[in-house]
Structure 1
Amino acid sequence: MIKIILSIIFVIICIALSAIILLQEGKSQGLGAIGGMADTYWGKNKGRSMEGNLEKFTKYGAVLFFVLSLVLNIL
C-alpha cells in the first residue's frame, strides 16, 4: 500500500518538476552588451521574483525526486 502511494507521489513530482523546468528562462537570457541582468532591479531581487521561486522549487523538487527514487528502489 505504501509503495503505491509513494509511486503516485513520485509521478506527480516528476510531472511538476518537468513543468517547473520548462517554465524557467534560459541562463543566457539577459546577457547583453549592456551588462546583463546583474545591474537591474530584477537581478538584485531575483530571490523574490517568480524566477527565483522557480529555481527554489526546482532544487527542492530535485532533492525530493532523488530521495523518493531511492526509497522506491529499496522497497
Structure 2
Amino acid sequence: MSENSTPALGNVVSNPTARKVIYGAYAVAAVVVGGTAAYFLGIQAPVPEPVIGAQAVIAYLGIPVGGLALANTTR
C-alpha cells in the first residue's frame, strides 16, 4: 500500500497560480464586503440590502473556497 493515501482531489484546480488568484480574490471580496457592512454599522445607519445579500454570498462561497484549499492540502 502506498504511503500517500490522499485522494487526487488537487486536480480540481491543479495550477497553484490559479488557486492563489481564487484565494486572493475571495479574501479581497470578503474584506470589501465586510468593511462596507462595518462602515454602515459604524455610522449607525441601516446596512443596505445589497450589502446584506453580498455578505450571504461571501459566506456561501466559503464552502467551495475552503473545500478547494482542503483538497489541495497534502497532510
Q: What is the TM-score of this pair, normalised by structure 2?
A: 0.53
Q: Does 1:60 align with 2:60?
A: yes
Q: Is the 8 A contact 1:20 1:58 kept in 2?
A: yes
- RMSD (CA atoms): 3.1
Give distance in 1, aligned partners of 2:58 and 2:43: 21
Q: Which residue of 1 aligns with 2:7?
A: none
Provide the identity percentage.
8
Equivalent residue number for residue 70 of structure 1: 70
Pick closer, same or farther for the CA change 1:53–1:65 going to 2, 3 Å: same
| Count of matched residue positions in the alignment of Structure 1 and Structure 2 | 62
Change (3 A) 1:16 1:69: same
Secondary structure, counterpart of 1:37 in structure 2: coil
Counterparts of 2:66 and 2:21, CA distance in 1: 14
Unaligned stretches of 5+ residues in structure 2? 1-9
Q: CA deviation at 1:9?
A: 4.0
How has the CA–CA distance of structure 1 residues 6 and 64 changed in structure 2, closer, same or farther, with 3 Å as cutoff?
farther
Deviations 1:33-63 (A, max 9, x none): xxx417xxx3xxx1xx1x1343133113321
